[in-house]
Each structure stands twice: as structure tokens, then as C-alpha cells.
Structure 1
Amino acid sequence: MQSPKGNWGGDADARNWLCTSYTLLLLKDLGLDPLSEEARKSISLVRGHITWPQQMGGLPYFDGETEPCVNGWILGVGAYFGQASDRLVDRLLGEQLEDGGWNCDAPQSRRSSFHSTICVLEGLFEYEKAKGETAAVTEARVRAHEYLLERRMFRSLSTGEVIDPNWTRFSFPTTWHYDVLRGLDYLRSAGIEPDERVTEAVRLVAEKQDQNGKWTLENAHPDRVHFDMEGVEGEPSRWNTLRALRVLDWYSKRDK
């Protein structure tokens, strides 16, 4: 489905960069071998043909644009497919907010967004896997982990209330959207030792398992990913089931 110009979405789509990013994210999540002929050809087309519009920085695709959530995706897929951008890392580190996260509405907003924060965390983690740990990136990730954990993965720090009920409903692909399962699966993949601050969130995941041992698709997002990965809402979801089982296994092996 990739065009000779490197993008997905077609010329009629005014937001080709978004379709391209979602598609690359999906290929990464599916585990496409970055050294395979298909991956090398595809990434070469992206690298050789796609640049951001001037109002979004005008840089090559893998050097990112202006929003930290998008730049988190770009950093992650770039690192996974051998195109890690040090320039992009420096930008994201400089944009981390005082409370430990990121927000695409900064600097107007000084309060972090769960959506932006999880996207950046996933990108920084892929970068460290590809390039090795650095003190600056590791410190930024630890601060962002605390941002999520202090809020029990989905609760307001000031009131204790659930910030957004949609975060308790799980979907795949997640694109830019945060939810509890995505946050927990990130912590699992990053090797974070679970503590009591994730207990409620893990319990929420466990309670959603149906009588057949599966998890359903609950909150399908309308973002364009070109083909359906799952069925319809309410039906069993392979990807939610896989990620939920990984999270429960991770939590069960914690130090008690």
C-alpha cells in the first residue's frame, strides 16, 4: 500500500504524514524484521522522499516535526528501523515539563498529557534499545514513569478521580491514544518493577477477562490505519488479549 513517494494514504489525503506515521507504528508493533528486504525498501522510500512542511519544521521525516506526541512515534519507528535521530532526542528532552511528562499544547499548557507522555516514552525506550542507555534519556524516562505511577496510571493527582473513563477501555491500534493497558504494557516492556501504584490498574485489566479467557475490543479509534486489525467493538481482540496476558504475567512475577 506504500506509494513510490514513500507515504501511505494517497495523494488525496491532506495528512499523509499522519497516515504514514500510523502505518510505520503498526509495522513496528507487528514486529516486522527491520533488516528484511521489505523493511529496508520501505524505510528507504520514507527517508528519501518525505520531508515535513516548512510550518512543521521542514526537516527530513525521521528528524521529526513540532509536536512531542508525533515526535515520540517518529523517534520510536526511526530507532526500530535503524534511523534513530539524536536531533529529535535532544528536542524531546528539552520539551519535558516540570511534572515529568510532555504535552503537545506546551508551552501554553504546563501540565503534562498522558497521551503525549506515553508516545514520547515509547520513542525514548526504542532509542535506548537501539543506541544504548544514556544518562539524560534514562533520567527523562524515570521522571516520566513517576508521572504515570504517581497518578496510579489513570487518576488525577489532586482529586484521585479517574481522569478519563475512556482510558479504562482498551483498543488496538492505539495510535496517539493513551489507555491503562497501553501504559502498563509499556512499563512491562521497559522492565519496570511493578509496585503497589499499578495494583489497581492491573486489577482493572484482570477483571476484563471474559469467560473464555479473552479480552474484547472496547474503544476502536477512528484514526486511519488502512485495514482493520480486529473485528468490531465487543468482539474478542487478539491484541488486547496478548497485551493483557503479558501485563498479568509481568505483575505476577513482581518481588513480593
Structure 2
Amino acid sequence: METPHGAARPADASEAAVIDWLLDSDPSLRWQVERDLTEKPEEVWRQTRARTATEGFGRRLLEQQDADGQWSGGAYFPAQGTAGYPSADDAPRDREGQPWTATTWSLNALRSWGVPPAALGHTAERLEANARWEYEDLPYWAGEVDVCINAFTLLNGLWLGRTKQANADWFVDHQMAEGGWNCEWVEGSSRASVHSTLNALEALLEFERVTGGSPDVRAARHAGEEYLLRRHLLRRLRTGEPLTATTTTFCHPHRHAYSALRALDYFREATVYDGGAEDPRLAEAIDVVRQARQPDGTWLQGRRLGGKVWFEEDAPVGEPSRGVTLRALRVLRWWEGETRAGQARADAF
């Protein structure tokens, strides 16, 4: 059966057939399959990753960049009248959520696809000169008050060489008593959020990996991890009841959204980086991932985050998702001890 993206589903349920299906994909996903699932030599997956700037999704998105370094004329939201701004005649589903075409979301995509920073030329400098946050017109690389926005700024700044210690220290200063973070702290919230916390953790781990980190940042990261682990990635902190259904509904791309699978992939990377053992409190979430596997060996696209996009990069809801399947397989391989430790986040940039 053909998928909407042109490559046949796995011919059988064997893992080899699934990996062949994953390899028949855009370079942005193929290089990760080569590194994390087939364990190809480094020179092989690096050659594939280099293609992300000149082929497929990466090339298409780079071609949408504005002359001033931005995308869609805005930092987090498109400017009205730009190509990425939702128009009145857009399909209703494109108005269900915020647009994903502005600068930060475009940088997030390019970075996650493995596009080499050199391919963006002087983008960092152009953004410093031209991009301002919609919140109080703050300068782009300084971040603003939103936890998730500041996490993305830290990650993209690390990638493009614009991060300062202050970007990471902000998270130390804004961590909540529970150990996590919440984007709504500025509105008076004192309770942490799994969404905000996971975005913060991904940024702090990358900060440590790239710069060596600092004791305060490392302590903040570990406290944030403990906040999620106390919930077994799936449950409410105070009652132990399950979180919303979206926690066990996996999607690609995930944008800002939390899921148990995304959290497991984070703990895979953090555990390898710290050199520790797998925390047994992850086992319940691992079982959820195992149970979501389909008879053909794939995992489905569970939901779609509504909002205008430059182009689709994965399957529709209900169809096998390459992005979700890649992440699920590498998490399970890690948990079962089948992946070399050095393969987790090996030189991401």
C-alpha cells in the first residue's frame, strides 16, 4: 500500500522491512536512521546529513527565508501580508492553531533535520539586526519571558553560535518549587507544566553538551528530570491519575507538544550523556510505546497540531509515521540495551 509520501509501507512486520521503509525518506530523517538504527559508519551518516541543506525539506525551507534573515517576517508569528500568514481563504484546519511558518519554528525545523549551521550563512547576524520578539519588541537572541520560546532560543543559539550563559541561567532563575517550569509563570502560575518542562530540559541538556554547562544549570536540569520521573512521564503529580490522552498520542513533528515518547527520547539522551543507568520509573511509559506498535511494525501518526505550515513532512493522522517510528525504535533499542551509547546525540551540529 502506498503512503501519501510515495514510499510503500513495510512489506512485512520484520524490523528489517521497517528500517528499509524508514531509509526510503528525506535526508533529514534518513541520516538519523543510519546513525541510530543501522549504526552505519560515521562518514556515511554525516554524508547523508550534509545533503539536508541542498535536498528535500531543508532546501525547500531555506528557499523560503526572507532577505532580512527571518521567515514570514516575524519571530514567533508571521507578519500580516507575508507568504506564511494565514489568509482568509485557507482551509479551516489551517486556522485551528498558530501558524508554524515564522522564524523560530523554521529554525527549529532546520536544526532538528540536521541542517549544518554553515548552510544558513549570516542568518544569526541578520536576525540580531532585524528580528524582534512580538512580546515588548525584545531583541531576538536575548529571548523573552516564555519558557518554551526561551528554550527554542537557547537551542537555536547553540546551533548558530549566538548563545550566552545568561540564556541558560534564565532557567535557573525561573524554575518552580516542584522542579519544573511553566510558560504561564508570568501570569502568576506556580505549578509546573510537562510541556514547558520538557522544552526547558532539552535546551539545558544541549547547553551542557555543547558548552560543558555549569553546576547551577546541571542542578536545575536534574531537578526538572526528577519532576517528570516522579510522574512516571504519564501521571499527575498530586493524584497519580493519568494525564490527558495526548500524552500517549504520538505525533511528528511535535513542535512544542509533550508526549511520553518524546520524554523517553529525552531521557535516552540524558542518561547516555550522564553515564547512568535507565531509571525504572520510565518502564510504564516504555510499555505504552510497545503497545502502540502496529502489526506491520510501524507506529501511527496520532494527531496533527493544527496551523499553517510551509509543507507537510510526515503522514496524515492514522497513517504510519516515519518520524514517530524512528523515535519509538531508537527508544526501545536503548531501553533494551541494543544501541551503542555513543550513538545518542553524537555531535548534533
Gap change, CA 1:73 and 1:42, over 3 Å in 2: same
| Offset from partner CA, 1:185-230 (integer Å, 9 cap, x none) | 1111222532221101011111111122111111111144421111
Deviates more, 1:218-227 or 1:208-217: 218-227
| Fraction of identical pairs, as percent | 35
Counterpart contact for 1:119–1:176, Cα < 8 Å: yes
SS at match of 1:9: coil
Give the distance between the partners of 1:92 and 1:57, measured in 2 at CA.
20
8 Å Cα contact 2:101-2:309 kept in structure 1: no
Q: In 2, distance between residues paired with 1:106 and 1:130?
A: 28
User: Aligned partners of 1:142, 1:74: CA distance in 2, in Å?
Assistant: 21
- The structural deviation recorded for 1:157 is 2.1
* Cα deviations by residue, 1:22-49 (Å, 9 ceiling, x for unpaired): 1111111111112x3x223433432332
Given the alignment of the two structures, is residue 89 of structure 1 paired with residue 175 of structure 2, yes or no? no
State the TM-score, normalized to the length of structure 1.
Answer: 0.90
Instruction: Write the letter of the residue equivalent to 2:199.
Output: C
Q: 1:20 to 1:182 in 2, by over 3 A?
A: same
What is the distance in 2 between the residues matched to 1:224 and 1:99? 35
Alignment of 1:14-93 (within 5 A): 19-34=102-117, 36=118, 38-53=119-134, 56-93=135-172
For residues 174 and 17 of structure 1, what CA distance do their matches in structure 2 show? Answer: 11
**Alignment pair present for 1:180 and 2:260:** yes
Q: How many pairs are equivalent? A: 250
- Name the CA shift for 1:224/1:118 in 2 (closer, same or farther; >3 Å): farther
From the superposition, tell whether residues 24 and 224 of structure 1 become closer, same or farther in structure 2 (CA, over 3 Å): farther
RMSD, matched Cα: 2.1
Moved more, 192-201 or 111-120: 192-201
Aligned mates of 1:42, 1:170 — CA distance in 2: 32
Question: Which deviates more, 102-111 or 14-23?
Answer: 14-23
- Contact 1:76 1:125 (C-alpha < 8 Å) held by counterparts: no
Q: Which runs of 5+ in 2 are unaligned?
A: 1-63, 74-78, 87-97, 339-349
Q: Distance in 2 between matches of 1:67 and 1:98?
A: 18
Q: Which whole-Å CA distance do the structure 1 matches of 2:123 and 2:167 have between them?
A: 21
- 1:118 and 2:198 aligned: yes
2:271 and 2:283 map into 1 onto residues whose CA distance is 16
* Counterparts in 2 of 1:16 and 1:88: CA distance versus 1, 3 Å: farther
Letter in 1 for 2:108: L
For residues 89 and 58 of structure 1, the distance between their equivalents in structure 2, rounded to whole angstroms, comes to 21
CA gap of 1:228–1:16, structure 2 versus 1, over 3 A, is: closer
Deviations 1:1-25 (A, max 9, x none): 1111222225424989972111111
- Give the CA deviation at 1:137: 0.8
Q: Which amino acid aligns with 1:31?
A: G
How many Å separate the matches in 1 of 2:217 and 2:269?
16
Residues 264 and 331 of structure 2 are in contact (CA less than 8 Å); yes or no, is this contact kept in structure 1? yes
Q: 2:231 & 2:105 partners in 1: Cα distance?
A: 28
Moved more, 10-19 or 159-168: 10-19
- CA distance in structure 2 between the aligned counterparts of 1:153 and 1:225, rounded to whole angstroms: 29
Higher relative contact order (Cα pairs below 8 Å, separated by 6+ residues)? 2
Counterpart residue identity of residue 334, structure 2: W
